[in-house]
Chains A and B, each alone.
Chain A
Amino acid sequence: MVRRPPLKGFIKNDKAISEEFTSLPALSVVMIGFALFILLIANTYTAYEIRIDSIEKYKTADFIATKLTNPDCFFMDEGGIVNISLLETSESLDKLNSIRDTYKTSGVDFIIRLSWDSTYKDYPEDLPNDVGDRIAVSRNISVYLNPAQTRPGRLSVITWSV
């Protein structure tokens, strides 16, 4: 039976293979460096993603606004004037809804908000309450109310993800 060395002997035992003493700090420095590097890459990527994402959403809203304020759009009059009586017909609202449907397939929904003086109106329906983050793009336009009144106003396209 092998006799186990006493504990005291183990502590006093000087014989051992020495690990190179610089390797531990070196390893920790490398670990820290590596962590920083990963963090940097991750941050850059996330920032890029967020930026591209928000720009894409803005571009979508901007594109819808451009499309709707185009002179040949169904509710526009000459000279970039929004004719409110044309916009309020059921045909126009149907057309707007069909445009919305095409966008819904790509996960985007929108309404347009026409504001002038201190009032505003939403088309084709009021802005739902339960939507999350919204992105709005506004255009300065004139609103044709009646033959006497063409008021300076604003057309906003409010988009959100569905």
Chain B
Amino acid sequence: MRPRSLLRNRQAVSMMYDAVLFIVMVSLSGVVLIPALQSDVIIESSVEKHREETVDETLLMLLTSRVDNFGYTLAGSQIESLTGIQVDYDGSDQDLIQALVKTFLGREQLHKTYADLCVENLVCQLNVFGTRINVFTEDFDKSIREEVITVLREHLSDKYEFNLTLKWHPIMGLDFGGDLEIGPSPPVIDTHVAKTYVALPGTFFTEWLKDFEDYIIQCIDGVLVWNSSSDGLKNQIKGLMKNIVENITLNGFMGKDGVLDKCIDYVFSPLENGIERIFGDSFALIVEPIETVIPYDLTDLLDGLFSDVIKDLTGLDVTDSDGDSVIDAGDSLDFLKTYVRDQVAGILDPLFDGYFESFADFIVDTMGTLLDIDQLKTDMIEFFKEHINVLRAEIMLTLWEVRG
């Protein structure tokens, strides 16, 4: 059909249709603009950035600042549960018995950094396969928890919840060392995390670590001929590493103790001395007043504590029919020491085999069969320091917003 001329065209759309069309378009523009009106992307991203910074700053603050008054009582939790005696370290007045307990068993740590206190706590715990051997420092845990919670609460408003996790595991992957967790478990999403490593204060461990470097170099230099086939070379590297790891963890090297003995002795010897101090001669002075509130013999109490630890760790019941321990505290410690050593020896090979495999593969794949000995030394030292390091504790602060 031929279109009619525009001038003659008498058909039209009512003006109302135009108006409705206009309204529809206004609504559409509204739909487009409303997200811009309500969107808080810019603000949200700066808030996120702010929280990331907050968690970093807070961790740094905690690591660098010092506590004014801090202290704990050796065997404090046991004394408290038996007698109800609780010692405060904030300078408040105490009655005679509290003052006596504080004098003999108290450990006051004034003006130390929070980081040092935390690391000290980790090292003295002696946690093995989930069982804590040093049961005397539970009061230390409690005090440090309270202290850290007070400080963090003060600096992070009620809007945030936090979790501070500290770990000292000198041998990677082995449940041996110390753990401390402060605050509730964090949720799976929307958390901000800051993590860093703190070094243990310089002790004989520092020197030990240097010797351990020399030992690795000596072992690599000691190999007369490196195998020329790639499989042979891999096996040779694996064998060498296996040997090194056994010596540095268990058997000892260059006339030094292995890392495990070193750690165990480091914690056990003060523990043994501590026991003497707590339950030895000096304690006899306050035994009279203590015995008036504690209904039974303290030596039995100590033996009982260790028989519980042995039962927890090994499943062995070392008590007789009356419930009294058949071995005394000193023997218990020796027994535990041997047990820990044997257990670790049993699981060390399977633990490290995978790592050695991938390390040997990595070396042979990147260097080929013509070894660069200096590079191998550097890589191997790095590998061992990464997996076995007595001086390094991990500290992690997690922060999240509490909604509602």
**Chain A residues engaging chain B, CB cutoff 8 angstroms:** 20, 22-23, 25-27, 29-30, 33-34, 36-37, 40-41, 43-44, 47-48, 51-52, 55, 58-59, 62, 79-81, 139-143, 148-154
Contacts and interface: CB of A to CB of B under 8 A. Distances in A.
B54 A140 contact: yes
A148 B62 CA distance: 16
The 7 closest A-B pairs by CB, nearest first: A142-B65, A26-B19, A152-B65, A29-B19, A140-B57, A142-B64, A150-B66
B402 interface: no
B22 interface: yes
Contacts of A59: 46
Interface residues of B, number: 37
B155 A79 contact: no
A16 B300 CA distance: 120
Contacts of B43: 51, 55
A51 to B, nearest CB: 6
A148 to B, nearest CB: 4
Nearest to B38: A47
B391 to A, nearest CB: 19
B33 interface: yes
B20 A29 contact: yes
Given A80-B60, A148-B66, A152-B62, A30 B14 contact: no
Given A37-B26, A58-B46, A151 B57 contact: no
Contact of B57 (A48, A141, A148): A141
A25 to B, nearest CB: 7
B327 to A, nearest CB: 45
Nearest to B62: A152
14 contacts: A20-B15, A26-B15, A40-B30, A40-B33, A41-B33, A47-B37, A81-B65, A140-B60, A142-B60, A148-B66, A148-B110, A149-B66, A151-B66, A154-B155
B96 interface: no
A81 B22 CA distance: 63
B357 to A, nearest CB: 40
B290 interface: no
Interface of B: 14-16, 18-20, 22-23, 26, 29-30, 33, 36-37, 40, 42-43, 46, 50, 53-54, 57-58, 60-66, 68, 110-111, 113, 151, 154-155
A52 B113 CA distance: 42
A140 B61 contact: yes
A30 B19 CA distance: 6
Contacts of B22: 29-30, 33-34
A23 to B, nearest CB: 5
Main secondary structure on A side of the interface with B:
helix
A152 B151 contact: yes
Contacts of B111: 148-149
A36 B46 CA distance: 32
Contact of B26 (A33, A55, A62, A149): A33
B114 to A, nearest CB: 8
Contacts of B42: 51-52, 55
Contacts of A139: 53, 57
A26 B61 CA distance: 67
A79 B60 contact: yes
Contacts of B36: 44, 47-48
Given A55-B42, A80-B61, A150-B66, 17 more contacts: A26-B18, A30-B18, A33-B26, A34-B26, A37-B29, A40-B30, A48-B36, A51-B42, A80-B60, A81-B64, A81-B65, A139-B57, A140-B61, A148-B66, A149-B68, A150-B113, A151-B66
